[in-house]
Amino acid sequence: MRRMKQELALLLVFTLLLGTFGFSASAADKKESSVSSGTTYVLLYLNKAEAFLNGEQVTLDAPATIIKDKMFVPAKFLGDAFGMKVEWNEQTRMIEMETPNAQILLDSDNKSVWINGYWMRFEDAAAIVNGRLMVKLTWLADYMGARYTYNDELKRVEVLYVKTPQGIYIPDTGNSKPVAKFSFGKSVYKIGEPIKYVDLSYDPDAEGIAKFDWKGRQEAIFTPGTYPVTLTVEDIHGNRSEPYTRYLVIGKETYLNEVEYPIYRSPVGSFIKTNWSVLWSNFHELPELPKQVTEDKSRKLLVSDSPETFEQQGILYQDTIEGKGRLYADHINGTNEKVTMAILAKNMTDKPVTVRTTNKGEVWPSVYANLIGNEATVDFLLGDPLNEKLTIPPNQTFVYKQMPDFYPGQGVNLFYDVETDGLVQFSFIASSQISQNSLTLPLLPFNGHVRGSFPVSEVQWNIDATTFTSPSRLIVGDGKIDPFQPGYDTIRMQQVNNDGNYGVVYKIHADKPRKMAVMILPKGGVFKGPFKINGEIRLVPESGVITAFDGMQILAKTTGTEEALDIEFSPPAGSAFPIDLIFYPLDERETK
């Protein structure tokens, strides 16, 4: 016992001396010794599994032993400690070793060893003990470049290995290689915890680092284990550093799972790309967020959306408005000739009538027919101040709006809020020539798209976004939970539904919302459209379109301190429904 205490005291003193002279004595550096300079100190005891590596006690599978009066030491343990390769090659059935001085192949089946291409007998260099490769102690000096001493009294081998750092100066150019180096923000990370990388690289010539080449770097990792991360840097002259590797440890405790992570960590406007399986299992059957619905019937909505693609000239839709109204049209020129799209306003009274336009969203003829609904809705939701006036004499017809030339295959989308002080008939017309006589054109037949007059042009949903604790949703445009507005087609003279609720503005309001993320999940097909969140327009998506199989986009995030959350939305022409608005509660992990 007294002897063991003496040995431990000597070991402590030696470790302190190593630290004093700048040598590494941390067991955590074992795996990094292949890429960083330093000193490795090992104590091996004859026929004992206990050993010490840089001051830390370890247990060996194969301890040092005497074979035919020669001492053999564990190759794999020392190779790992010194950062040298010692691996079994299943195809060649050989053990491969790489040291600073030699390429070594050990063939135990044929009792042969090749060192830098030269053959020697296996038993003169190595032995297999209990399935473990052992090498002669003399190899430590000859091939591994380590120094050793044997203490016969203590039956102990003391091994000291100093890795020689590679030079970074380049004499031919008078320049130096940069040095790659980094650390992690902490030694162990949780599953799904954001990983902090601290760059410590430098250029000895003070020219700065021009390029970083990472391998294995990830924002977060969702499987426990140990992962190598390697950095190589380059200066402005193209000189590359030696690769620098550290090992990232991911524990078994979970911080965020793979589904939660992008919701917590992605900023507003981000698109969360995923797959159908994840969407279906996590978001498609969420509980509905309760809402109180109020319908605004103060503004009559006229929808001219049929035929969406017209194939002949004529009157697309026609009805009257007295007071507040909304005019909505979405059409594609399906004829073989250039036409003009216009809205005519006829004063149905014997007194002058003024038509005021208070809001509008319009897209003139465009070949991008499937995108124009998004652009017109953006303008309409912006709600820029507008006060256009048109006074119509008694029983006269004026052109309220007229588009530029409308070529085959082009589309238009029109969106106007009007107020009249008398009864006015509005007619949506496609014709090569627009005049008062255009009212004599034929009423075009219905071919399956939405058209009609609807008393409801705005719905208001009040929701409780304060107390819910699990992900929930609002369903928009499914025709069931969110019913399509009923109306009347004056041309066909029959009851109709506004399938898709086109031209209807949704206003969703929540007082004092909790900390949460609000996302949109398309479920009916291709979608492209804007939302207005607390007065700010958010495009979905910012470019292109999204579908039910792509993923979700983050519309908003609340902090839990806002007085209210207000969402305005109108179904854009050309987009498919339904869509889900997902309300996902967040906790303090969102800001860490």
Is residue 4 situated within a structural domain?
A: no
Q: Per-residue pLDDT for 17 more than 70?
A: no
Same structural domain for residues 43 and 89? yes
Tens of pLDDT, residue by residue over 444-477, are 988 788 999 999 999 999 999 999 999 999 999 9
* Residue 17 is assigned to a structural domain of this protein: no
The mean pLDDT value for 278-290 works out to: 92
Q: Residues for the chain: how many in total?
A: 592
Same domain for 320 and 436: yes
Give yes or no for residue 23 having a pLDDT over 60.
no
Per-residue pLDDT tens over the stretch 288-347: 999 999 999 999 999 998 667 899 999 999 999 999 999 999 999 999 999 999 999 999
Cis? peptide before 404, omega within 30° of 0: no
Return the pLDDT at 5: 41
- Count Cβ atoms within 10 A of the Cβ of residue 330 and give its class: 0-12 exposed, 13-18 middle, 19 or more buried: buried
Q: Which tens digits make up the pLDDT trace of 512-571?
A: 999 999 999 999 989 999 999 999 999 999 888 998 888 999 999 999 999 999 999 999
The residue with greater pLDDT, 54 or 536, is: 536
Question: Does position 429 have pLDDT exceeding 60, yes or no?
Answer: yes
Total structural domains within the chain: 4
Running DSSP on this structure, what letter comes out for residue 278?
Answer: H
Q: What is the pLDDT of residue 590?
A: 64
Structural domain ending residue among the three candidates 392, 426, 449: 449
Are the beta carbons of 432 and 337 closer than 8 angstroms? yes
Same domain, 415 and 462: no
- When pLDDT is cut at 50, 70 and 90, the band that residue 109 belongs to is confident
- Residues 214-242 have pLDDT tens digits of 999 999 999 999 999 999 999 998 999 98
- What CATH code is carried by the domain that includes residue 356? 2.60.120
- In terms of DSSP H, where are the helices of 404-557? none
Q: What is the pLDDT of residues 566-588, one digit of tens each?
A: 999 999 988 999 999 999 999 98
Average pLDDT score over residue span 156-171: 72
Residue 7 lies in a domain: no
Cβ-contact 7, 153 below 8 angstroms: no
Last residue of a domain, one of 162, 187, 208: 162
- CA-wise closest residue to 456 among 493, 508, 497, 416: 497
14 pLDDT above the threshold of 50: no
Does residue 20 sit within a domain?
Answer: no
Residue 11: inside a domain, yes or no? no
The CA distance from 482 to 501, in Å, is 9
pTM for this prediction:
0.70
The arithmetic mean of pLDDT across residues 66-78, rounded, is 87
Task: Answer yes or no: do 378 and 445 share one domain.
Answer: yes
Please tell me the predicted confidence (pLDDT) of residue 166. 58
pLDDT in the model for residue 170: 65
DSSP string, 430-474: EESS-SGGGGGSPBPPP-SS-EEEES--EEEEEE--SS--S-EEE
Cα separation, 357 vs 368, whole angstroms: 26
**Dist CA 141 CA 143 (whole Å):** 6
More confident residue, 170 or 112: 112
- Domain at 58, CATH number: 3.30.457.10
Residues 389, 373 share a domain:
yes
Six-digit token string for 406: 């409308």
Per the prediction, the chain carries an average pLDDT of 87
Q: Using the predicted structure, report yes or no on whether residue 19 has a pLDDT greater than 70.
A: no
In a domain, 422, yes or no: yes
Q: Are residues 215 and 157 in the same domain?
A: no
Q: How far is CA 318 from CA 125, 161, 394, in A?
A: 100, 93, 19
Provide the pLDDT confidence category of residue 201 given band limits of 50, 70 and 90: very high
Same domain, 291 and 223: no
Predicted pLDDT of residue 172: 67
| 347 and 272 in a common domain | no
35 vs 574 pLDDT, higher one: 574
Inform me whether the pLDDT recorded for 265 exceeds 50: yes
Residue 169 pLDDT? 60
Looking at 162, 190, 213, the residue that finishes a domain is: 162
On whether residue 261 sits in a domain, the answer given is no
Claim to verify: residue 213 and residue 103 sit in the same structural domain: no
Q: Return all residues near 22 (Cβ < 8 A) that are at least 6 apart.
A: none
Cα gap 516→542, rounded to integer Å: 22
Same structural domain, 312 and 404 = yes
Q: Decide: helix, strand or coil at residue 8.
A: helix
If asked whether residues 109 and 230 sit together in one domain, one would say no
Q: Are both 176 and 122 inside the same structural domain?
A: no
Domain that holds residue 80: 39-162
353-407: pLDDT as tens digits? 999 999 999 988 887 755 778 889 999 999 998 889 999 999 999 999 998 888 9
pLDDT band at 40 (very low <50, low <70, confident <90, very high): confident
* pLDDT, position 142: 77
- pLDDT band for 15, please (50, 70, 90 cuts): very low
* Predicted pLDDT of residue 21: 30
Is 6 inside a domain boundary? Answer: no
User: pLDDT exceeding 70 applies to what percent of the chain?
Assistant: 90
Confidence of residue 9 (pLDDT cuts 50, 70, 90): very low
